[in-house]
Amino acid sequence: MRNTLNGSSMHLGTAAGNPAVRRFSTVLAVALLLSAGAIPAFVHAQATTNTYTTLSLSPDPASTNQTVTANVAVNIVNERQGGDSTPSGSLPSGTVAVAGGGQSCAATLAAGVGSCTLSFPDPGIYTITADYPGDASYSASSASQDLTVNGTAGGVSAVPAPTLSDGMLALLGTMLAALVFFVSRGVLR
């Protein structure tokens, strides 16, 4: 059998043996199967749903040795193709590792949110990071926030006021009276 294409004749038996024609035929067959829905929809969808993590620290600023609560949320980025924005209607679960400034805790997620507490013995500015490791359904994500930790009493240590004995108070009173006397007489100017 002979066929005419673009004014030239081509023998179909020869074209079928051509590697370029075989690749084109394979691509065409896959495209037809995809458009007909013969290949399951999960092939079109992403293997995991993308996430982003948020972190908030309270209080900020904090004082040394004060309990700081790290509130985390793992949210879903709605860019999944072919299906619901969440696999099987679920939300991210598992734990989020929170660490920084030599301290760490783990926030267990329930419906995508969780919290844990930290405490810092030394003043400073610390970068706290929340890392969600991801799972079979959700991608990994993380967030960071700086935390200021001041020394006790707003950054100033409390120092007790000196106490004066009765004898010291009497001596100061006598010295003040002498000073007033000499100034009023013009001896001290």
Same domain for 15 and 60, yes or no, is no
Same domain for 99 and 32, yes or no, is no
Does residue 16 register a pLDDT over 70?
no
Same domain for 100 and 79, yes or no, is yes
Range of the domain at 16: 2-39
Give the separation between CA 118 and CA 147, rounded to whole angstroms: 11
Same domain for 30 and 68, yes or no, is no
Q: Does some domain include residue 158? A: no
**110 DSSP assignment:** B
Same domain for 101 and 127, yes or no, is yes
Q: What is this structure's pTM? A: 0.54
Give the separation between CA 85 and CA 115, rounded to whole angstroms: 25
**47 DSSP assignment:** S
Instruction: Determine the Cα angle at 103 with ends 97 and 106, to 5°.
Output: 25
Same domain for 135 and 65, yes or no, is yes
Give the separation between CA 178 and CA 38, rounded to whole angstroms: 109
CA-based radius of gyration for the chain: 38
| Mean pLDDT on 156-163 | 57
Tell me how many domains the chain contains. 2
Same domain for 10 and 80, yes or no, is no
Q: What is the mean pLDDT of the chain?
A: 77
Q: Does some domain include residue 114? A: yes
CATH code for the domain in which residue 132 is found: 2.60.40.1930
Give the separation between CA 68 and CA 66, rounded to whole angstroms: 6
Query: What pLDDT digit, counting tens, does each position of 54-103 carry?
Result: 999 999 999 999 999 999 999 998 754 444 445 555 789 999 999 999 99
Give the separation between CA 114 and CA 107, rounded to whole angstroms: 5
Q: Does some domain include residue 83? A: yes
